[in-house]
Chain A
Amino acid sequence: MSEMPQPLPTGSEWSFESIELYDREIGRVAREYGLDVYRHQLEVITAEQMMDAYASIGMPVYYHHWSFGKHFLSTEKGYKRGQMGLAYEIVINSDPCIVYLMEENTMPMQALVIAHAAYGHNSFFKGNYLFRTWTSAEAIVDYLVFARNVIAECEERYGEEEVEQLLDACHALMSVGVDRYKRPPKLSLNKEKERRTERESYLQSQVNDLWRTLPQGQERETAQSERRFPAEPEENLLYFIEKNAPLLEPWQREIVRIVRKIGQYFYPQRQTQLMNEGWACFWHYTMLYHLYDQRQLADGFMLEFLQHHTNVVFQPPFNSRRFGGINPYALGFAMWRDIQRICQEPTAEDREWFPDLAGSDWRESMDFAMRNFKDESFVAQYLSPRLMREFRLFNILDDPREPTLRVRAIHDEQGYRTLRQCLAEQYNLGSREPDIQVWNVDLRGERSLTLRHFKYQGRDLSESRDAVLKHVAALWGFPVRLEEQDEDGEVRHLTEVRIDRRKENQRP
C-alpha cells in the first residue's frame, strides 16, 4: 500500500462528514476481509423514532395496530425512567440495507453501529442460506408499503374495528403461520399486486367448491365420504385458513396473507439470532481493531468502544441476579472468535474435534459456516470443548417423574457431546415451540376444524391456548377442536371452541 491511511476524526460529537469518513474506512476494511454486502443506507433518527421502530419490529413502514402502540408505550416507559437503554441499532434485511443511527449516540458508537450493522448483519443477510431462500431483500420495503395500503384501504371500507379483530386473530397465529420446511416462493411486489384481484376471485371460487352443498350425484357422494381433508396435515395454520376458511371475505383472506408473509419474512431471524448477532459482533470487533492497528483510531475511541462492546457480550452466570438466559451476543461472538482461533492456532484438542477446520483459512471457513448453518446446526457443528469450559456450561434435566432435578452433563470429557447436543436442541425452534397442525376438517358435518398438538417431551400447551383457539374459531367461523397426540401415539381431546357467529364480538 503506497499511502498511509489518514487518522479518523476524534472527539465524541458526530457529524455527517465524520460518519461518511468512518463509513468509508470501515467499508475499505470490510472489502479487505472480503465481506459481501448489499448497498446500505444510513438513517439518522431520534430516540422517539427508535422506540417507534422498536414497536413495529424495526420496519420502516408498517400497518397500524394497537399492539404496536402497546409496545411503544412499554418501551417509552422503560426508556424514560432510565431502566433500559435503547438498542444501539436496528438494521433491516432489505436491499439497500437500512441502518438506523440514533442521534444521541457518540461518534464511537456510530462507528460501532456502522461496523456491526451495515457490514456485519448486512453480510449475514446477504450470505446466509435461510435469508437467501426465504426472504427477498429487494422486495420487502415495497411489500410493506403495499401491505399498509391494503390494510388502510380495508379499514376505510370495512371499519377499523373489523380489521383490528382480524389482525388480532392473525397475530395470534403468526408463530404457527410459517412454512418450516417447505420453501416458499419469492416475494415480488408486482406479482402480488397483479395477482391480488385475480386471487381474490379465484380463491373464493376454490373455497366455494370445497364447501359446495348441492348434491353432485351419487358416485361423487360415496367418494367424498372417504375423502379426508386436508389430505396431509398442514403445519402452516395461517396458510390453511387463508386458503380454506369457508366464511372469510376476499379482503380478509388478503390480510391473513399479508400477516403470514410478514411472519415468514421474520422467521429466518428467529432461527439465526445467535449466529447473526455473534457474526455482527465479531466483525465490528475485528474491523475496528484493524483500524486501530493501522493507527486510524485514537485510544479514547477504543476505550469507549471496548466499554460498549464488553457490555454487549457480557454473560452473567446462572446464579447472578442479572442472568436472563444465555446471551446470544456473548455466545455468538465467542463462537466466531473461537472458530477463527481454531483455524489460526489449533490445539491438539481442536485437531481431534475439528480435523477439517483446524489450520484452514479462517476467512473461508467462517464464510462457509455463515452461509450454510442456522443456530441449531451451528452449535451442533462448531461449539468447541474449550468454549464449553470457558462458559462453564452445564445441563440440567427437569423430568417431572423424578423427585429432583438432575445435572446431566458438565463441561468435562464425558459431558462435551451431551452438552453440545442439548444446547443445539435449545436453539431448535421446532422443539422450542409447540408443534400444532391442522389435522382434519369435518366436511360433511358441522364443518369443524381439528387441530392436533404433537406433544414433545411431555410438554403441555400453556393456558394461552384457549385464547388462541378463540381467534382460530373467529377466523374459521365454525367450531374448532384441539387434541393432542403424545409420543406414544395416543390421542386425547383437549378442548373445543364454538362461536355462535363469526361477527360476534370476541373481546373481553
Chain B
Amino acid sequence: MLQIIDRRNDSKNKSAVNRNRFIRRFKGQIRKAVQDAIVRRKIADIDNGERVGIPSKDISEPQFHHGRGGRWSVVQPGNDRYLTGDEIERPEEGAGGRGSGASLDGEGLDDFVFTLSREEFLDIFFDDLALPHLIKTQLARITEYKRVRAGYTSTGVPANINVVRSLRGATGRRLAAGGPYRKTLRALHAELAELEACGSGDGERAAEIRTEIARLLRRIETLPFIDTFDLRYNSRIRVPAPSTQAVMFCVMDVSGSMDEQKKRIAKRFFMLLYLFLTRTYEHIEIVFIRHHTLALEVDEDDFFRSRETGGTVVSSALELMLRIVRQRYASNVWNIYCAQASDGDNWEADSPKCRELLESSLVPLIQYYAYIEISEGEPQNLWREYARVMASHPQRFAMQQIGGPEDIYPVFRELFRKSLA
C-alpha cells in the first residue's frame, strides 16, 4: 500500500539548531566579518542582514586526503586531439587535481560566505555590550506614566462620576427596595376592587385599605432617587510607560584641523551608537550639530560632507544642543544621548566654559554623553576639562581617545561596556 505523507508543515526550521550551533561555534570569526561589513555600510542601511565571509580554513572539517605529488592516472572524456604517447606540458596546478574544485562557488576558495539574518547580525555586533544603566533607565527609574481606564470603582472624586453607571445602580436599588411594598400594594388593590365589585366599596374595610395604599405609596416615594451608595466613578490607574524614544545628538568639530580621515572615523563611531540605540528604542531621532566657531544644525549629508575652516569653539555646539533639547526634547519623554567627536583642539578660554555648561545644564538632562577625541599624542586642553566632568559624573560621561579606524571598535566597547562587568 502506497503511503504519501505531506511533511510540508512539520518542523519548520529544523535546521535552526544546527545553524545556531554553527554561528556560536565560529562567533569569533563571524564577529570579525561583521566588523568588516560595518565599514561598508551607511547609517541608513545598517539595519539589515548581512552577507559575511569567514575563512574556509577555519571551518574546514579535516580528513585524511591525498595531497599533490605522486603518480596519478586520470581517465577523462571528450578526447579531440590526443594520440597515445603524446606529451603534454604540465599545467601550473597539476593535471588531475580538478576533482571538486567547483564546489565552492565563485567566491574564491578562501572564504565561506553566507547570509546572517538581521537579528543574528545585530546580536553579534552588540554581543555583550549594553548601554550604561540601561536597566536603570528602562526599568527601575521609569519617569513616564500613562493613565489608563481600568473599569469602575465606588470611590472617587465627583469629576469622575459615571452618570450612566450610577443611575443604573440607583434604578436597581429602587426596584429592589420597593419590591415588597409593591407586592402588598397589588394585593390591596385586588382586594379593594373585589370589595367595590360586591358593592361594599364604602365599607370600613375599604377605607382601611385605601389608607394603607396611600401609606405604601408614600413609602415608595420616599425611597431616595439616588444614594451615595449608587455612585460609580470611572477608574483610572497609572501604568508606567517605558519610554521608547531616544534622541541622539551627533556633535562634530568641522574646523580646519579635522581632516577627512578623522571625519570618517567619527562617522563610524556615530553609526555604532545609532545602531546600538535602534536595538533599544523603537523610535530614534538624530540631530546633527557641526561646529567650528559657530554651531549649526544640519542634515546627515551636510554633516559628513561639507568642510569649513576656522577656529574651534566647542561651547557653541553645546549651547545649541541645550537649546534644542529645551525646545524639542523634554527630558522626561526622551532619552537623550550625545556623542561628540573632535580633535580636541579648542580655544583655550572656551574649554572651562564647556565644562561649566556640561556640569550645570547638560549632563543632568541626558542619559549618556560619550566623547571621543580623534588625535594621536598628548590630549589637548578640552580633554583635561572633560576629564574633570567625567570624574564627577562617571556614570553618565565617558571619553576615549582614538588614533585610527582600528581603534573605533575597542573604544566603542570600552565606552558602552556592560557596567556589570
Say whether B308 faces chain A, with CB atoms less than 8 Å apart: no
Contact of A96 among B3, B23, B70, B113 (CB under 8 A): B3
Question: Is there a chain B Cβ closer than 8 Å to A77's Cβ?
Answer: yes
Stretch at the interface among A41-49, A119-127, A220-228, A299-307: A41-49
With both chains docked as a complex, state the minimum distance between the C-beta of A419 and any C-beta of chain B, in angstroms: 6
Are A65 and B21 within 8 A (Cβ)?
Answer: yes
Determine whether B84 belongs to the interface, using a CB cutoff of 8 Å to chain A: yes
Q: Answer yes or no: A72 CB below 8 A from chain B CBs.
A: yes
Whether the Cβ atoms of A396 and B73 lie closer than 8 Å is: yes
Residues 74-100 of A, flagged 1 when their CB comes within 8 A of B and 0 if not, give 101110100110000000000010000
Tell me the chain B residues, 34-75 only, with Cβ under 8 Å from chain A: 58-75
Contact A462–B66 (Cβ < 8 Å): yes
> Contacts A96-B3, A459-B66, A467-B62 hold; do A315 and B77 have CB atoms under 8 A apart?
yes
B77 contacts A458, CB within 8 Å?
Answer: no
Distance to closest chain B CB from A172 (angstroms): 5
CB-contact partner of B88 in A16, A76, A396, A459, under 8 A: A396
Q: Which of A19, A67, A103, A436 contacts B61 (CB 8 A)?
A: A67
Contact with B along A425-437 (1 / 0, CB 8 A): 1100000111010
Of A207-215, A364-372, A404-412, the stretch lying at the interface with chain B is A404-412
- A34 CB, min distance to chain B CBs, angstroms: 19
Asked if A68 is an interface residue, CB under 8 A from chain B, the answer is yes
**Complex interface: chain A residues within 8 A of B5 (CB):** 41-44
Assess the A459–B67 pair: CB atoms within 8 A.
yes
* Residues of B within 8 A of A (CB-CB), count: 68
Chain A 471-497 near chain B by CB (<8 Å), digits 1 or 0: 100000000000000000000000000
Q: Bound state CA distance, A56 and B8, in angstroms?
A: 17
The contact of B15 among A51, A409, A410, A412, by CB within 8 Å, is: A51
Q: Quick check: B98 and A324 within 8 Å, CB to CB? A: yes
A93 to chain B, nearest CB (A): 17
- Binary A-proximity of B271-294 (CB < 8 A = 1, otherwise 0): 000000000000000000000000
- For residue A337, which residues in chain B have a CB less than 8 angstroms away from its CB? none
Return the contact of B8 from the options A45, A72, A465 (Cβ within 8 A): A45
- Chain B residues positioned under 8 Å from A317 (CB to CB): 77-78, 80
**B7 with A48: CB separation less than 8 A:** no
What range describes how many residues of A lie at the interface?
Answer: 35 or more
Contacts A317-B78, A408-B84 given; indicate if A49 touches B7 (C-beta within 8 A).
yes
Interface 0/1 of B93-135, CB less than 8 Å to A: 0111011111001100000111100000000000000000000
Q: Is B158 an interface residue (CB 8 A)?
A: no
- Verify if A20 is at the interface (C-beta below 8 Å from B): yes
B19 at the interface (CB under 8 A from A): yes
Give chain A nearest CB distance to B108 CB in angstroms. 14
B25-A434 in contact (CB<8A) = no
B-contact 0/1 string along A384-414, CB 8 Å cutoff: 0000000111111111100111111111101
Whether A400 contacts B71 by the Cβ 8 Å rule is yes
Within 8 A of A (CB), among B5-34: 5-8, 12-15, 17-26
Kindly list chain A residues whose C-beta atoms are within 8 Å of the C-beta of B20. 69
- In the assembled complex, how far is the CB of residue A168 from the closest CB belonging to chain B, in whole angstroms? 8
- Taking the complex as formed, is A31 at the interface, i.e. its CB lies under 8 A from any CB of chain B? no
The answer to whether A217 has its CB under 8 Å from any CB of chain B is no
Q: A132-175, CB under 8 A of B: which get 1 and which 0?
A: 00000000000000000000000000001000100010011111
For residue A385, give the distance in angstroms from its CB to the closest CB of chain B. Answer: 14
Of B1, B8, B12, B84, which is within 8 A of A409 by CB?
B84
Bound CA span A508–B57, Å: 10
Are A394 and B14 within 8 A (Cβ)?
A: no
Residue contact A42 to B62, C-beta cutoff 8 Å: no
Give which listed residue, A23, A318, A404, contacts B90 with CB less than 8 A. A404
A66 near B84: Cβ-Cβ < 8 Å: no
Complex Cα spacing A40 to B3, Å: 7
| Inter-chain contact A394/B7, CB cutoff 8 Å | no
Instruction: Check B327 for interface membership: any CB of A closer than 8 A.
Output: no
Q: What residues on A are CB-neighbors of B76 within 8 Å?
A: 318, 323, 326, 393-396
**A185 on the B face (CB < 8 A):** no
On whether the beta carbons of B82 and A407 are closer than 8 Å, the reply is yes
In the complex with contacts A73-B22, A406-B88, A434-B66, A319-B78 CB distance below 8 A: yes
Cβ-based interface call for B378 (8 A): no
Bound: A77/B187 CA distance, A: 90
The complex places the Cα of A316 from the Cα of B98 at a distance, in Å, of 14
Q: Tell which of B61, B86, B112 touches A407, judged by Cβ atoms closer than 8 Å.
A: B86
Asked, given contacts A73-B19, A394-B76, A404-B90, whether A44 binds B65 with beta carbons under 8 Å apart, the answer is no
- B83 lies within 8 A of chain A by Cβ: yes
Does B222 make an interface contact (CB < 8 A)? no
B60 neighbours in A (Cβ, 8 Å): 464, 467
Closest CB in chain A relative to B90 CB, distance in Å: 6
Does A423 lie at the interface of the complex (its beta carbon under 8 Å from any beta carbon of B)?
yes
Decide yes or no whether A320 CB sits under 8 A from chain B.
yes
The CA-CA distance from A407 to B7 in the complex, in Å, is 52
Question: A74, B17: Cβ atoms under 8 Å?
Answer: no
Instruction: Please indicate which of the listed interface residues A83, A318, A394, A406 has the most CB atoms of chain B within 10 Å of its own CB.
Output: A394
> Shortest distance in angstroms between A429's beta carbon and chain B's nearest beta carbon?
12
Cβ A407 vs Cβ B88 within 8 A = yes
Besides A66-B21, A459-B69, 6 other A-B contacts (C-beta < 8 A): A40-B3, A45-B8, A175-B63, A403-B90, A404-B87, A433-B65
A–B complex contacts, Cβ < 8 Å, 13 sampled: A44-B6, A45-B7, A69-B20, A72-B18, A77-B115, A325-B100, A391-B78, A422-B73, A426-B73, A458-B70, A460-B66, A464-B63, A465-B64
Which residues of B pack against A, CB within 8 Å? Answer: 1-8, 12-15, 17-26, 58-80, 82-90, 94-96, 98-102, 105-106, 112-115
